[in-house]
Amino acid sequence: MTSDDLLARHRAVLPSWMPLYYAEPLELVAGSGRRVTDAAGRTYLDFFGGVLTTMVGHDIPEIREAVEQQLRTGLVHTSTLYLIRQQVELAEKIARLSGIPDARVFFTNSGTEANEAALLVATNHRRSHQILAVRNSYHGRSYATMGVTGNRGWSASALNPLQVAWLHSGERLRGLLARLDAADRVDAAVEDLREVLATQTAGDVACLIAEPVQGVGGFVHGPDGLFAAWKKVLDEHGILLISDEVQTGWGRTGEHFWGYQAHGVTPDLLTFAKGIGNGFALAGVVGRAEVLESVPAISFSTFGGNPVSTAAGNAVLDYLLDHDLQGNAARVGAILGDGLRAAVAGLDEVAEVRGKGLMLAVEFVHPGTVEPDAALTTRVFEACRAGGLLVGKGGLYGNVIRMGPPLTLTEDEAREGLAIMADAIRASIEA
């Protein structure tokens, strides 16, 4: 069966709202390190890692061995109603790394479920359904998590089951705070929070949920320190802060292990997913015992924290720490980021190269404006593929190229990808 046949069958049986990348959708059949191979035998450098998920790389022996060892026991799944050694060990490690005092960890299968659990905990703890969320955010595909997603392409706001009030993200390119310097943007975002609390809520708000760097939104972030400034106000009202670390956790930003650390404050709840399983379904929520214990009914997850996922999670975390992948993200990310900035210098079609560590984005606009140029972005995206480089595309207006390669990316691979990207941008602008 060819990939074309597969595409026809895909379209006949899977929902049309499930997007597929590329004009000619890609079928990947193998992976190794930072490279993947398609059904026609062509190899690509993978700068997207299955949406920042293949954090350590494809087919890494230590992780394969840990999973195979678990499979060899014959126990792929035991109910989480039994004791699971790997689950306890992983929870201990994550609790210690989380920075949250007296932490408890609840494992789920996806970032959506992790955020759903965090919202459930926060609303029950505070006995309130009012939630603060951030414009241009993305938190998942369930009813509640879509309700706190501030990106129309991904949300169901007309059917929102929650009472949500929206905050400015503190970003600098567009909107009310555009062109303010970082300190003024923090002050303005805090003023915005106070005003939203006073005018758009009944006062008894449960929580604020926010991404330290907005992933799906196009790797947009407010100034460092914003969460700390927000939290001062939140603490005056007893409102909990949830840091959605689904994309920013595990050292991806290079400078810190968690995204929230750039903001100089510890959240009340932290959610994680994506990279920790390196492809196996593993996610969860961490919070102080006093907060996380607020779920009123018995609750457990059939698959969350299962032996295979948590075996993978332990191996991934050990690999990450043993090989200082956060340090590698900082080092190689700087090469990639500086190289991208040099490659686009003087191009009026690029509004900015931004991001941290190995979470980097290029935003395309009509020259001399901040008007998004989604068509140019699509040309760059397709040209990267044609050159042998897989990247992500996104942002609120579909005009951002996103790069989130495995954190094991080497300097040579960074330079190789950079050259493909620079050619793709030049050719797409000229086209």
Of the two residues 144 and 389, which places its CB atom closer to ligand PLP in the complex?
Answer: 144
Of the two residues 246 and 409, which places its CB atom closer to ligand PLP in the complex?
Answer: 246
Nearest to ligand PLP by Cβ — which residue?
111
Concatenated DSSP letters for 260-286? GGGGT---SEEEE-GGGGBTB--EEEE
Task: Tell whether residue 110 is a contact of ligand PLP (CB under 6 A).
Answer: yes
CB of 115 to ligand PLP, least distance (A): 6
Of the two residues 104 and 139, which places its CB atom closer to ligand PLP in the complex?
Answer: 139
Cβ-count burial of 427 within 10 angstroms (0-12 exposed, 13-18 middle, 19+ buried)? middle
d(CA 79, CA 60): 28
Of the two residues 208 and 216, which places its CB atom closer to ligand PLP in the complex?
Answer: 216
**Total site size for ligand PLP, rule CB under 6 A:** 16
CB of 44 to ligand PLP, least distance (A): 21
Task: Tell whether residue 211 is a contact of ligand PLP (CB under 6 A).
Answer: yes
Residue type, 363: E
Question: Within 13 A of 431's CA, how many CA atoms are on the CB side?
Answer: 14
Task: Calculate the alpha carbon distances from 325 to 24, 81, 115, 255, 257 in Å.
Answer: 34, 34, 26, 11, 10
Among 246, 332, 365, 400, contact with ligand PLP (rule: CB under 6 A)? 246
Residues 157/162/167/171 CA torsion (nearest 10 deg): -50
Among 247, 309, 326, 328, contact with ligand PLP (rule: CB under 6 A)? 247
CB of 144 to ligand PLP, least distance (A): 12
Q: Strand, helix or coil at 108?
A: strand
Q: Strand, helix or coil at 17?
A: coil
Helix (H) or strand (E) run with residue 166 in it: strand 163-167
* Residue partners of 324: CB distance under 8 A and separation at least 6: none
Of the two residues 283 and 315, which places its CB atom closer to ligand PLP in the complex?
Answer: 283
Of the two residues 258 and 418, which places its CB atom closer to ligand PLP in the complex?
Answer: 258
CB of 391 to ligand PLP, least distance (A): 16
CB of 344 to ligand PLP, least distance (A): 25
Task: Tell whether residue 216 is a contact of ligand PLP (CB under 6 A).
Answer: yes
Task: Tell whether residue 111 is a contact of ligand PLP (CB under 6 A).
Answer: yes
CB of 228 to ligand PLP, least distance (A): 20
Among the listed ranges 57-65, 210-218, 295-303, 330-338, the one in contact with ligand PLP (CB under 6 A) is: 210-218
Concatenated DSSP letters for 199-238? HHS-S---EEEE-SSBTTTTSB---TTHHHHHHHHHHHHT
What's the sign of the alpha-carbon dihedral 365, 371, 372, 377?
negative
Query: Which residues does residue 46 pair with via DSSP β-bridges, in sequence order?
Result: 390
Of the two residues 126 and 139, which places its CB atom closer to ligand PLP in the complex?
Answer: 139
Task: Tell whether residue 215 is a contact of ligand PLP (CB under 6 A).
Answer: yes
Of the two residues 140 and 372, which places its CB atom closer to ligand PLP in the complex?
Answer: 140
Q: Which residues ranging from 119 to 148 are in contact with ligand PLP (CB under 6 A)? A: 138-140
Among 54, 80, 98, 112, contact with ligand PLP (rule: CB under 6 A)? 112
Q: Enter the tokens of residue 267.
A: 């959240």
Strand order through the sheet with 103-108: 103-108, 283-288, 269-272, 240-244, 207-210, 130-134, 163-167
Q: Which residues ranging from 43 to 72 are in contact with ligand PLP (CB under 6 A)? A: 51
Chain length of the chain: 431
Task: Tell whether residue 312 is a contact of ligand PLP (CB under 6 A).
Answer: no
Of the two residues 31 and 140, which places its CB atom closer to ligand PLP in the complex?
Answer: 140
Could you tell me if 180 and 191 are in contact, meaning their C-beta atoms sit under 8 angstroms apart?
A: no
Q: Which residues ranging from 5 to 44 are in contact with ligand PLP (CB under 6 A)? A: none
Task: Tell whether residue 108 is a contact of ligand PLP (CB under 6 A).
Answer: no
Residues 328-360: b if buried by 16+ CB within 10 A, e if exposed = bbbbbbebbbebbeebbeeeebbbebbbbbbbb
Among 46, 116, 171, 244, contact with ligand PLP (rule: CB under 6 A)? 244
Question: Which residues of this chain interact with ligand PLP, rule CB under 6 A?
Answer: 51, 110-112, 115, 138-140, 211, 215-216, 244, 246-247, 273, 283
